[in-house]
Amino acid sequence: MNGKYKALWLDEQDNLVVLDQRVLPFVESTVTITNTNECVEAIKNMTVRGAGVIGNTAAFGIFLAARECNGNLVQLENRAKLIRESRPTAVNLMWAVDRMMKVARKSNDMLNDLKLEAIEICDEDCQTSKNIADAGADIFEEIMKKQNITTINVLTHCNAGWLAIVDDGTALAPIYEAKRRGIDIHVWVDETRPRNQGANLTAWELGKADINHTVIADNTGGHLMQHGMVDVCITGADRVSRGGDAANKIGTYLKSLAAHDNNIPFYIALPSSTFDFEIVDGIKEIPIEIRGEDEVKFIRGLDKHGEYSELQIVPTASKALNYGFDVTPSRLITGLISERGVCKADQKEIETMFKDLL
Ligand code: MRU
């Protein structure tokens, strides 16, 4: 690869170009990021989002920050801190900044080395996505064989496709691979309020790939599971503890409870950079982002004239609370699918599979 990926790429001036995910699927536009402040802003306001792509943007952000301060390491450390703190939950952000800064601190050719390292991080994510695609599609095939079914119904929450992790994403990667293998697959797409990353982004991605899918209101999944209409659930993750607890977009926990109650396998797909090996108890220790109340009080989309617009759906005087993520405890997770294969969401298994990273 050479720095050109589907959700982001470097232009000829070595600025970072990203798809503007705030206005998809109705407007396809890009934003160009040239410096630290623009990088921080793009992550904060969710022009870019999804754990992996946040990490990739931060990695290129460190390169741009180094260029901005002419390789002055003290100034770069300050800028790196701003990027590192731009969102709190997805640990790929901190992981990418720390990895880039390690290179910066020992480099004699800082700009060149940082550019290559950011590209290397993205290329590794592409390989991760391929491995997850294979392992996840194998799981789908096993489920179909075991249940003797010819169509598999998969439920996913939020967006963990190529808009969230370069190449084919994490949770959506096995779905793309299933399609390539000729498996008859149908995907239930949770709309994922309040920002609707399922309805806006996952549905758009799957539609582009001609994958059979249906968008459902967030509250529908439990009913479908009770009536045998879901064979497997798969989501991404923003941070997974050493004990196997997984933070993902708010609402994931409720889906895992319904899956457990109905004996439906519930998988989390993630790159190893999404593990936070420093913590064991995800519920107590993973920092959960609280975003602005307007994301709950207003909804965006096309109006009846086809114009992209925003509508208020909550009385002006009412308060709203907007937690971005929740934590699914390890006991509700059937398996973790990473670039290294599948392991149980269990501290011992995680420590064995990832012992070189501890
Ligand atoms: O707030 P976001 O959109 O950045 O949240 C991230 C997500 O889309 C999900 O939680 C996703 O399932 C994990 S990111 C690969």
**Are residues 201 and 85 located together in one domain of the fold?**
no
- The number of folded domains in the chain is 2
**Are residues 94 and 146 located together in one domain of the fold?**
no
**Are residues 100 and 156 located together in one domain of the fold?**
no
pLDDT digits (tens, 9 = 90+) for 257-289: 999 999 999 999 999 999 999 999 999 999 999
Atom 7 in ligand 1: residue holding the nearest Cα: 50
**Are residues 101 and 237 located together in one domain of the fold?**
no
Mean local confidence (pLDDT), 324-328: 98
| pLDDT reported for residue 3 | 75
Test site for ligand 1: of 165, 249, 322, most ligand atoms within 8 A of the Cβ: 249
Domain that holds residue 41: 8-124
**Are residues 171 and 280 located together in one domain of the fold?**
yes
| pLDDT reported for residue 4 | 82
Atom index in ligand 1 nearest the CA of residue 274 equals 15
Distance (Å) from CA 125 to ligand 1 centroid = 15
Q: Which of 167, 190, 218, 238 is catalytic?
A: 238
Query: How confident is the prediction for the chain on average, in pLDDT?
Result: 97
Name the domain boundary from 105, 124, 143: 124
| pLDDT reported for residue 2 | 67
Atom index in ligand 1 nearest the CA of residue 54 equals 4
Atom index in ligand 1 nearest the CA of residue 159 equals 8
Atom 6 in ligand 1: residue holding the nearest Cα: 50
Name the domain boundary from 124, 150, 172: 124
Distance (Å) from CA 71 to ligand 1 centroid = 32
Q: Is 238 a catalytic residue?
A: yes
CATH number of the domain to which 193 belongs: 3.40.50.10470
Residue 323 has pLDDT above 70, yes or no: yes
**Are residues 15 and 74 located together in one domain of the fold?**
yes
Residue 242: inside a domain: yes
Question: Which residues' Cβ are closer than 6 Å to ligand 1?
Answer: 49-52, 158-160, 164-165, 170, 197, 235-238, 248-249, 324
Residue 62: inside a domain: yes
CATH number of the domain to which 25 belongs: 1.20.120.420
Name the domain boundary from 101, 124, 147: 124
**Are residues 139 and 63 located together in one domain of the fold?**
no
Distance CA 16, CA 321 (A): 33
Residue 72: inside a domain: yes
Atom 12 in ligand 1: residue holding the nearest Cα: 236
Residue 165: inside a domain: yes
Atom 10 in ligand 1: residue holding the nearest Cα: 249
Tokens matching residue 150: 């010819």
pLDDT digits (tens, 9 = 90+) for 180-215: 999 999 999 999 999 999 999 999 999 999 999 999
Residue 129: inside a domain: no
pLDDT digits (tens, 9 = 90+) for 43-98: 999 999 999 999 999 999 999 999 999 999 999 999 999 999 999 999 999 999 99
**CA dist 73 to 22, 76, 77, 215, Å?**
33, 5, 6, 48
Atom index in ligand 1 nearest the CA of residue 325 equals 10
76 CB contacts (<8 Å, ≥6 apart)? 62, 65, 66, 69, 101, 104
Residue 315: inside a domain: yes
pLDDT digits (tens, 9 = 90+) for 337-354: 999 999 999 999 999 999
| pLDDT reported for residue 9 | 96
Distance (Å) from CA 250 to ligand 1 centroid = 9
| CA dihedral (268, 273, 274, 275) positive or negative | positive
**Are residues 343 and 254 located together in one domain of the fold?**
yes
Tokens matching residue 205: 């991605």
Percent of the chain at pLDDT exceeding 90: 99
Mean local confidence (pLDDT), 163-176: 97
Distance CA 41, CA 120 (A): 24
Distance (Å) from CA 163 to ligand 1 centroid = 10
**Are residues 254 and 348 located together in one domain of the fold?**
yes
Q: What is the pTM of this model?
A: 0.97
**Are residues 67 and 184 located together in one domain of the fold?**
no
Residue 84: inside a domain: yes
Residue 3: inside a domain: no
**Are residues 248 and 201 located together in one domain of the fold?**
yes
Distance (Å) from CA 207 to ligand 1 centroid = 19
| pLDDT reported for residue 1 | 56
**Are residues 197 and 280 located together in one domain of the fold?**
yes
Tokens matching residue 239: 């941070």
Atom index in ligand 1 nearest the CA of residue 248 equals 10
pLDDT digits (tens, 9 = 90+) for 214-242: 999 999 999 999 999 999 999 999 999 99
Mean local confidence (pLDDT), 2-11: 88
Mean local confidence (pLDDT), 117-128: 97
| pLDDT reported for residue 194 | 98
Distance (Å) from CA 305 to ligand 1 centroid = 31
